[in-house]
Structures are given as C-alpha cells and as structure tokens.
Amino acid sequence: MIFEEEAGAVAVSIQAGTGVPAFARLVAPQPPEFRPSVLPDSELARVLSLQEADLLDAPFQPEAVSCGVPLLFVGLKNRAALARVRLDDSAWKELLADSWAPQVYCFTFDPEREGSHVRSRMFGPGLGIPEDPATGGAAAPLAAYLAARDTTSDGTLVWVIEQGFEMGRPSILVAEAEKRDGQITALRVGGNAVIVSSGEMSIPDAVLGSR
C-alpha cells in the first residue's frame, strides 16, 4: 500500500504469519540530505544538559540528516549518558529552534537488549513532542547517517534500534540501508505495533439528527 504523507508517497509492505499481520516495513520517500551541525559540541552539550566529553568524536560527530523531516543526530558514548539527557528548553530556543534541523535525536552504540545495535531518544520540541517513544521518521535518516560512515560498498545494512526505554515505553525498530557502488540507494524502517489505549465515543441520536 501507499501512504500519502507530507514528505511524499511512502510505500508500505506488510508481512503476516498465519494470516495475522506481524511486521510492517516503510520505504523512505526521499533520498537523505546531509548538513553539518550548526553548533560546536560545547553548546550542543549545554542544550542536552550533558558534558562535552559525553559526545562521540569523528566519524560519529553530530550531523543533521533529513528524509523528509530534518533531525540533528548526536552520538553519545554510553547508555548512562543517554539516560542523563534533559533538553534545556531555554538553550534549545536560543541555539537550535531556528536551525534547519531543530529536532534532536540522541543515540549510543551501548544498547540494553541482546540483538540490538543502537539505543536512542528523540526530542521534538519544535513539533510539540517533548520525547517520542518510537520515531520511524528518524530511524530512516539514522540508517543514512550510519550507512554513510560504513565502509560497505554494496549490500544491505541492518540496525535494530531501542527507543522509549527511558520513558517506560520500550520500542524496537529495524532500520535498513541499501548501498550500491558506495552510494545509498534505499532506506527502510520497520517494526510491529501493540495497542496502548482504546476507547469509544457515544454520540446521542439527537446530536446526529441535528446534523
């Protein structure tokens, strides 16, 4: 099926087991766009309420990437640093709010689960999202960020991402990047879903009759 979204037409494939949908995979509608971070590490650390030493050095330096929604990707040295992140609202408004990529995606190569490759947190104050437990729109550009640093020339790269654990809403996403002749040719993100809430709305007949 095709989802028509602001970023473009998103192709979605659904895998099923015994007739029950079990996994959905989305293809990023746009090729990745890369831009350098607008902030030095010292100021970015202040936005995140961290120390500059908590940030990763090159080649995993902060960088902005977009596949439709620009995000600033910030690599951290360990899970403890990731847990300490607190977005400083005043510093964010002063330093990042008006930038090309004001939303911040922090990640570390120190996951909790066996089989995971990355643990992350996403902060989208410019979108009205204090923190998101699962961000498919960020997993695809994360795959682009990582694939651009991987020496693989041809093949499929796969990363399992933990997100939302610090919120008490653990989520697992699978991000993929296709490379041909050293170039990124496709980005995909997938996972499954669970119901977290449900409800019913009762509309009196009198209200329906008046419409």
Amino acid 210: pLDDT = 62
Distance CA 41, CA 78 (A): 16
* Predicted model pTM: 0.88
pLDDT (mean) for 57-62: 97
pLDDT of 207 above 80: no
Amino acid 20: pLDDT = 83
pLDDT tens digit sequence for 72-85: 999 999 999 999 99
Mean pLDDT, the chain, whole residue set: 94
pLDDT (mean) for 169-174: 96
Amino acid 199: pLDDT = 95
Amino acid 99: pLDDT = 97
Distance CA 129, CA 133 (A): 10
Q: Which of 15-19, 41-45, 89-93 is predicted least confidently? A: 15-19
Amino acid 196: pLDDT = 79
Specify the CATH number for the domain of residue 174.
Answer: 3.10.310.10
The CA-atom distances, in angstroms, between 170 and each of 95, 182, 185 are 30, 33, 30
Amino acid 190: pLDDT = 94
Hey, is 54 helix, strand or coil? Answer: helix
177-186 CB contacts, 8 Å cutoff, 24+ apart: 177/143, 177/144, 177/146, 177/147, 179/147, 179/150, 179/152, 179/153, 179/154, 179/155, 180/154, 181/153, 181/154, 182/153, 184/31, 184/32, 184/144, 184/147, 184/148, 186/27, 186/28
pLDDT (mean) for 145-170: 97
Owning domain of residue 173: 2-209
Is the distance from CB of 173 to CB of 190 less than 8 angstroms? yes
pLDDT tens digit sequence for 131-157: 999 999 999 999 999 999 999 999 999
Amino acid 211: pLDDT = 59
Domain count, the chain: 1
pLDDT (mean) for 2-22: 85
Of residues 209 and 139, the one with the higher pLDDT is 139
pLDDT of 19 above 90: no
